[in-house]
Amino acid sequence: MATVVGDDNRTASAELLWRPSGEGAYRTGHPLTRVDGAHFVGSLFWLTPGRQYELQVHLSDPDGVTGSPSASGTLSTRPDTLTEPTGRVLHVSPAGNDAAPGTDPSSPLRTIQRAANLSQPGDLVLIRPGVYRESVAVPRSGTSAQPIVFRGTDLGVILDGADGTIAAGVEWTPWAAASMRMRRDSRPASW
């Protein structure tokens, strides 16, 4: 983000230049976008993972620029490979039991949420194929050195927050001009 002060008429512009560290000429980045009276933002695309880059931002204004019209800095992209967790392994299966500890593959947890609640930095959560009708909130973060990783053990792991009754199919019938009635097992429930 580049910050501009004293450009009340918003005629200033900002240009982003970049290059791999120590290499040749700078390249022009995508145009920076003004997001309010004082800030420009932008992005760089197609950078190489695990590499350091040098950046420059040049400000210009038809009314003149007070102070340095340029700023420079460096950034590093993340490596293309992720750190593999080294902590415990938690197992999840639609046939599991959330009262189990989940650390034994023969006694898995039933929900991904329970695994998320138990997970600590460095844990690997292995999820067996099946449909998991839940919304998951992970209450704590891992670190770059010890991530918390959620991984399907095979194709067919589906996290679907839809209500199981509705997803299984229900019969909808008109009830009145401005409403609908849902019928399931001959017991109506109106919405």
Q: What is the pTM of this model?
A: 0.54
Q: What is the pLDDT at residue 174?
A: 62
Q: Are 123 and 153 in contact (CB under 8 A)?
A: no
The runs of H, that is alpha helices, within 81-175 are 112-118, 164-167
CA dihedral (61, 62, 67, 71) positive or negative: positive
Beta bridge partners of 41: 33
With a CB cutoff of 8 Å and minimum separation 6, the contacts of 188 are 181, 182
Q: How far apart are CA 127 and CA 107, in angstroms?
A: 13
Q: What is the pLDDT at residue 136?
A: 94
Q: How far apart are CA 93 and CA 29, in angstroms?
A: 47
Is the pLDDT confidence value at 167 over 80?
A: no
Task: Name which of 17, 19, 14 is nearest 4 in CA terms.
Answer: 14
Q: What is the pLDDT at residue 100?
A: 97
Per-domain residue ranges for the chain?
Answer: 2-76, 89-160
Q: How confident is the model at residue 185 (pLDDT cuts 50, 70, 90)?
A: very low
CATH architecture entry for 2-76: Sandwich (2.60)
Q: What is the pLDDT at residue 8?
A: 83
Q: What is the pLDDT of residues 25-76, one digit of tens each?
A: 999 999 899 888 888 899 999 999 999 999 999 988 888 877 778 889 999 9
Q: Are 55 and 17 in contact (CB under 8 A)?
A: yes
Q: What is the pLDDT at residue 175?
A: 62
Q: What is the pLDDT of residues 94-152, one digit of tens each?
A: 999 999 999 999 999 999 999 999 999 999 999 999 999 999 999 999 988 899 999 99
Q: In the block, which residue shows the tokens 């704590």?
A: 140
